[in-house]
Amino acid sequence: MAPRSASKTPESSDKVGVICRALRRAIIEQALAPGAKLPEDSLGERFGVSRTIARHALGQLAAEGLVELRRNRIAVVATPSWQEARDAFDIRIELERLVVRQLAGKLTKNQVSELNAHVDAEDRARDGSDAVSIRLATEFHILLANMTNSPILVRYVSEVAYRCCLTLSLYSRPHSSECAINEHRAIIAALVKGDESKVMGLMHSHLDSVANRALVAPAPQRGRDLLDILAPYAEEGEGGRVVKMPKVVRAR
């Protein structure tokens, strides 16, 4: 069977799919930060399609939780609350335990080398931008999910992994990204060895540690984000005066 990208997802249909994939990638690489505006016109123009299509793509992305749609308002990249981020990780842990449980001891030689190749790529990207490292780390998990041959599982793991990726860009410390490449290698090893509970434990602690490293601030924001983010800057503007907040065009 030819490796035509899964025909069942509406995704791969046509232009809509292209836009979705592009935006998804831009979002998880933080080229589009949470809160960034996504006007239908601009998207359409940028991708050479009409608003109708851009709109449809935004709808799909919204269904995945990557963008927020408010009636009569410009769509924006989603800005999950800290609690939602934590919830996403909890769900992700359960789903990925399921993945490795199904995979333990069942990987073909080809699959193992594919995984190893991916981790090697992660290694090489170590000195590159954080954004790329994070994307690669996420894609490792998606690659794993793909090997289960369960379309539903793939979809959910992908979605939730992307969401986690998004939250990482919101809440994680600058360079905490992922020194977790070794943990990926350990997971592969355990999968090959075929010890279900061992690999489930590894995956659990791997994701848990990523989450804990990333989601460090228990209550970083209250009202909304902007005010708190700017709070440190609010004292001693230039001479005892409170700085008048400038334009504030959240995420250009």
Partner DNA sequence: GGCCATCAAACTGCATGCAATTGAGGCGCT
Partner DNA sequence: AGCGCCTCAATTGCATGCAGTTTGATGGCC
Query: Of 24 and 97, which CB lies nearer to its own copies in the complex structure?
Result: 97
Interacting stretch for DNA, rule CB under 7 A, among 32-40, 100-108, 171-179, 180-188? 32-40
18 in contact with its own copies (CB under 8 A): no
Among 29, 64, 114, 196, binds its own copies (CB under 8 A): 64
Stretch 165-204: interaction string toward its own copies, x if CB under 8 A = ----------------------------------------
Instruction: List the structure tokens of 102.
Output: 């199904």
Evaluate whether 121 touches 142 at the Cβ level (below 8 Å): no
Among 3, 5, 8, 235, binds its own copies (CB under 8 A): 8
Among 5, 7, 108, 110, binds its own copies (CB under 8 A): 7
8 in contact with DNA (CB under 7 A): no
27 in contact with its own copies (CB under 8 A): no
Using alpha carbons, select from 47, 84, 85 the residue that is nearest to residue 172.
85
55 in contact with DNA (CB under 7 A): yes
**Cα 10 to Cα 233: distance, rounded to the nearest angstrom:** 46
149 Rama class: left (phi>0) / alpha (psi -120 to 50) / beta:
left
- State whether residue 76 is helix, strand or coil: strand
Size, binding site for its own copies by CB under 8 A: 37
Instruction: List the structure tokens of 36.
Output: 């960034």
**Cα 54 to Cα 46: distance, rounded to the nearest angstrom:** 10
9 Rama class: left (phi>0) / alpha (psi -120 to 50) / beta:
beta
Minimum separation from the CB atom of position 177 to its own copies (A)? 23
